[in-house]
């Protein structure tokens, strides 16, 4: 069985100017925007006390995003807020003045008209963009990489978007979407990866993800956890990871938690950058074959990379079995713990934590992270069973 690879972060720090993107003020604006949606509700924070006792830690707390806006994943938070920020900018307004009611009104149609929002996706982000575009009277075009499942394609198409599956990987789909947006009147690319000349919208998407982190911070108090000692967060391009890390680094500036960044081994560009140790970005090419479809990204978000290299404690390169193991553990919890239905990209944290705590092969990593009976661990199950057929094969039939 393939092993988890890990690398302690020893990269040189930079000026950390990107951290302000995830300031409490910026995240507060995103939270207020999302609260204006009639579909908004706070997603659960599952307290797995029984699992924590079994693994030898104090608390395991799992933010369950399978309840988000009825879309079974967190991604809609980023796309919807980025759209609102873009529209606000076009109108010369602050996003604080744009709520859901205005964005679906005739006044918005008169003031702004209609844009075409382009994106590339492995599933959840594209569905979120399509969902938001449909409700806000906008249009969406979504490109998916080869190997994308019919279920995820159908879910996006059902929201009224134009959807294609391309014979290229995710990163090439991003380039297709960017090119088409540039060639389209009132075309806008809404992508959570950043590159030179394209940083505003990815920053806004990250701020949108901050709603999830902000909710979790408030919910921690209800389980009498003042501050998590460790936060496990998964990464594709690194936008989600940097959003979570950036928010909590701002929330606890004097005593931040240890941040553990987890990637699919087939697309471990952040891990490779950390392993090189010079602070420069590394990329991964090819088909990026992994069951963690939402993490199958080989080119880091430049904004996210800056935050992560300044604040992450360790980077992990995770084989597919870690996600599968996490899915099974969360779906069949210790007696008394709540069940969490977590998809392939959402469950890797649970699988990784179990391996670190139970397998002697990772004793050095366990000690380096100071994981013990006093540890209060927060992780994010970012999707539910967004591909039910694959979920059943893994959880019921034991794949991987």
Reduced 3-state DSSP string for 261-307: EEEEHHHCHHHHHHHHCCCCCCCCCCCCCCCCHHHCCCCCCHHHHHH
Catalytic one of 29, 75, 85, 309? 75
Q: What are the angstrom distances between the C-alpha of 400 and each of 6, 107, 295, 391?
A: 21, 52, 17, 11
Mark whether 171 is an active-site residue: no
DSSP assignment of 155-194 = HHHTTT-EEEE-SS-HHHHHHHHHHHHHTSTTEEE--S--
> For residues 252 and 347, what is the distance between their CA atoms, to the nearest angstrom?
26
Mark whether 75 is an active-site residue: yes
Catalytic one of 29, 64, 85, 122? 122
Question: Contacts from 331-338 at CB under 8 Å and sequence distance 24+?
Answer: 331/395, 333/48, 333/50, 333/51, 334/48, 334/50, 334/51, 334/53, 334/54, 335/50, 336/49, 336/50, 337/46, 337/47, 337/48, 337/49, 337/50, 337/51, 338/44, 338/46, 338/47, 338/48
Identify the bridge partners of residue 378 per DSSP, sorted by sequence position: 61, 231
Please list the active-site residues: 75, 122
């Amino acid at each position: 069985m393939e092993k988890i690879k890990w690398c302690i972060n020893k990269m040189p720090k930079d000026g950390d100017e990107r951290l302000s993107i995830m300031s409490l003020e910026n995240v507060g604006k995103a939270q207020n925007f999302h609260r204006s949606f009639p579909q908004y509700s706070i997603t659960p924070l599952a307290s797995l006390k029984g699992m924590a006792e079994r693994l030898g830690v104090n608390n395991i707390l799992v933010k369950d995003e399978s309840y988000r806006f009825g879309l079974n994943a967190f991604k809609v938070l980023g796309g919807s807020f980025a759209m609102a920020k873009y529209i606000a900018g076009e109108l010369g307004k602050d996003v604080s003045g744009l709520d859901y009611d205005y964005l679906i009104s005739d006044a918005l149609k008169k003031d702004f008209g209609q844009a075409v929002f382009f994106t590339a996706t492995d599933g959840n982000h594209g569905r979120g963009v399509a969902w938001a575009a449909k409700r806000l009277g906008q249009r969406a075009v979504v490109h998916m990489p080869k190997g994308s499942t019919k279920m995820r394609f159908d879910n996006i198409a059902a929201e009224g978007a134009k959807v294609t599956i391309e014979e290229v990987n995710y990163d090439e789909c991003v380039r297709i979407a960017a090119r088409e947006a540039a060639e389209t009147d009132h075309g806008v690319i809404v992508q959570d990866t950043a590159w030179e000349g394209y940083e505003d919208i990815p920053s806004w998407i990250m701020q949108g993800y901050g709603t999830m982190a902000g909710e979790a911070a408030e919910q921690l108090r209800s389980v009498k956890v003042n501050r998590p000692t460790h936060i496990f967060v998964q990464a594709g391009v690194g936008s989600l990871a940097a959003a979570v890390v950036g928010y909590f680094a701002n929330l606890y500036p004097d005593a931040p938690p240890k941040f553990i960044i987890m990637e699919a081994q087939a697309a471990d560009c952040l891990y490779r950058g950390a392993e090189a140790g010079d602070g420069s970005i590394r990329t991964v090419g090819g088909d990026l074959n992994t069951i963690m479809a939402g993490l199958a990204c080989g080119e880091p978000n430049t904004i996210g990379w800056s935050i992560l290299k300044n604040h992450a404690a360790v980077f992990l390169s995770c084989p597919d079995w870690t996600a599968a193991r996490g899915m099974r553990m969360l779906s069949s919890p210790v007696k008394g713990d709540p069940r969490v239905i977590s998809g392939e990209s959402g469950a890797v944290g649970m699988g990784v934590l179990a391996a670190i705590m139970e397998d002697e092969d990772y004793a050095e990593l366990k000690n380096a992270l100071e994981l013990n009976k006093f540890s209060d661990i927060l992780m994010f199950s970012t999707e539910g069973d967004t591909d039910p057929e694959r979920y059943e094969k893994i959880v019921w039939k034991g794949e991987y």
